[in-house]
Amino acid sequence: EIVLTQSPGTLSLSPGERATLSCRASQSVSSSYLAWYQQKPGQAPRLLIYGASSRATGIPDRFSGSGSGTDFTLTISRLEPEDFAVYYCQQYGSSYSFGQGTKLEIK
């Protein structure tokens, strides 16, 4: 089973700043089958990024994904108030597994 480790656990930033979230896999993720989800309190997760770097339908271009192999990054170029949430990475190249999440909170 591929274990995903997200860092940091909590990220405190202000609106307008740039956010960089990391996801490291215990072994290589095949074909960059890596996704990112956003989850707000009381809501279901929402797909942001798939294939490591492709934005899902309707996702603003301030969200971008990068990486390959075992190291992946989600970048939010300029934080909006609605971006403060919990973010999960997921690999789907070998069964499925999720990271433990990064909480992005307002500083």
Partner 1 sequence: QVTLRESGPALVKPTQTLTLTCTFSGFSLSTSGMCVSWIRQPPGKALEWLARIDWDDDKYYSTSLKTRLTISKDTSKNQVVLTMTNMDPVDTATYYCARVPVGAKGTGAFDIWGQGTMVTVSS
> Which residues of this chain interact with partner 1, rule CB under 8 A?
1, 33, 35, 37, 43-47, 50-51, 54, 56-57, 88, 90, 92, 95-101
Which one-letter amino acid corresponds to residue 61? D
Taking a C-beta distance cutoff of 8 angstroms, is the pair 4, 89 a contact?
Answer: yes
Cβ distance to partner 1 smaller for residue 3 or 15: 3
Cβ distance to partner 1 smaller for residue 17 or 105: 105
Work out how close the CB of 17 gets to partner 1 at its nearest, in angstroms, rounded to a whole number: 25
Which one-letter amino acid corresponds to residue 101? G
Work out how close the CB of 16 gets to partner 1 at its nearest, in angstroms, rounded to a whole number: 29
Cβ distance to partner 1 smaller for residue 15 or 26: 26
Work out how close the CB of 57 gets to partner 1 at its nearest, in angstroms, rounded to a whole number: 8
Angle, CA of 19, 24 and 30, to the nearest 5°: 120
Which one-letter amino acid corresponds to residue 107? K
The whole-angstrom separation of Cα 94 and Cα 49 is 18
Which one-letter amino acid corresponds to residue 67? G
Cβ distance to partner 1 smaller for residue 24 or 46: 46
Taking a C-beta distance cutoff of 8 angstroms, is the pair 90, 46 a contact?
Answer: no
